[in-house]
Amino acid sequence: MPNLKFLHAKDVDFDGYLEGSLAELRWLKWEKCCDSFEAIDFHLEKLVVLDLSCKYNSGNHISENWRGWSSIKMERLKVLNLSRCLGLKSTPNLSMFKNLEMLILKNCACLEEIDPSIGDVKRLVFLNLSRCKGLKKLPEQLGELENLEELVVDETQIKEIPPCIGSLKKLKTLSAKHCLQPIEVPSSIVEYCKLQPIPSSIGKLRELVELDLSYTGIKELPESIEEFNKLKILRICGSGMERLPSSIGRLQSLQEINADGCFDLEGQIHFDKGGLSSLKTLRLAFAKISGLPENLDQLHSLEHLDLLCLESLSHSRNLLLTYHPRSSPVRAMSCHRSLT
């Protein structure tokens, strides 16, 4: 079959000398292949897609030690689909797949480890690890995947996205839905990058304690931020933020708002009665905030107030002169001439 381009095999094995037999094959879908491998000279040098996935009611039991990984020559491979390969405890050595762009490991229930050789797959664009329920950790070598655009770890046991992910300059999508453990996301993912508008669905992250969007291109926060009942720290310094949602004034656990260097941040800050009752730090240096709330003196926990160079601030002279906190003194660091 020298001209065959696509082959779908199921419940079969390849055996004997196969040199040149499938020389033009581009796509091989191989269901339920055996973990043993007896073929010799099985060269698939033009193969682009290797699909070893199986349907829901079955599984492929090849392991990371399958002889096929080293015996089949697949230098041009771009797509490797290992979905529901139930014998995999680790990914195979991937260093021979230099041109791989898509690696799919969905529903590999026994997968516990991503082999460090994944760092050699420099052209990888898409990595899907969803429903790998035995996976608890991602390797630091992921940070070497300079072309990675999408990483999916839905329904895994991963507890932490490693800081190395912050070096992935082309990453567009990081999906970690329905993870089996609380997951920690490093600040390096959101710092110094251009992000799309934050969706209102972010309000569903009700266990969130810290949100750091510093030095991003994000321009606004959704009103659903009021659902962050446990949020303690909000940092947006140096970002492209243009306004703060009015609902931010209802957050009773919030202790810090840092908006230093938000040169486009305009409007006024409002808070409801009883809102921002835990706020200790309010930093607005170099922003364009035009007004502070008249009931600022009700922020009994406020300790640090930075109003450095608020050129747009008005109607606040009397407010600052008469503000006397009931607990600890506030350090008002404003250099705005209209307040002197």
CB 157 within 8 A of CB 179: yes
What confidence score (pLDDT) does residue 63 get?
85
Cβ contacts of 291 within 8 Å, gap of 6 or more: 267, 268, 269, 313, 314, 315, 316
CB 43 within 8 A of CB 23: yes
What confidence score (pLDDT) does residue 119 get?
94
DSSP letter at 155 equals: T
Domain ranges of the chain: 1-186, 190-340
Cα–Cα distance between 247 and 271 in angstroms, integer? 8
User: What are the two backbone dihedrals, phi and then psi, of residue 194, each rounded to the nearest 5 degrees?
Assistant: -100, 115
Per-residue pLDDT for the chain (340 aa), expressed as one digit of tens each?
Answer: 778 999 898 888 777 676 767 788 899 898 887 767 766 667 788 899 999 998 766 667 788 888 778 777 788 999 999 999 988 999 999 998 999 999 999 999 999 999 999 999 999 999 999 999 999 999 999 999 999 999 999 899 988 888 888 788 888 788 887 777 766 666 555 754 555 567 666 766 677 788 888 877 788 888 888 888 889 999 999 888 998 888 888 888 999 999 998 988 888 777 777 778 899 999 988 888 877 766 677 788 888 888 887 766 654 443 443 344 444 444 444 444 333 3
Does the fold of domain 190-340 match that of domain 1-186? yes
C-alpha Rg value of the chain to the nearest Å: 28
Fold adopted by 190-340: 3.80.10
What confidence score (pLDDT) does residue 91 get?
94
Domain spanning 1-186: CATH superfamily: Ribonuclease Inhibitor (3.80.10.10)
Q: What is the pLDDT of residues 2-12, one digit of tens each?
A: 789 998 988 88
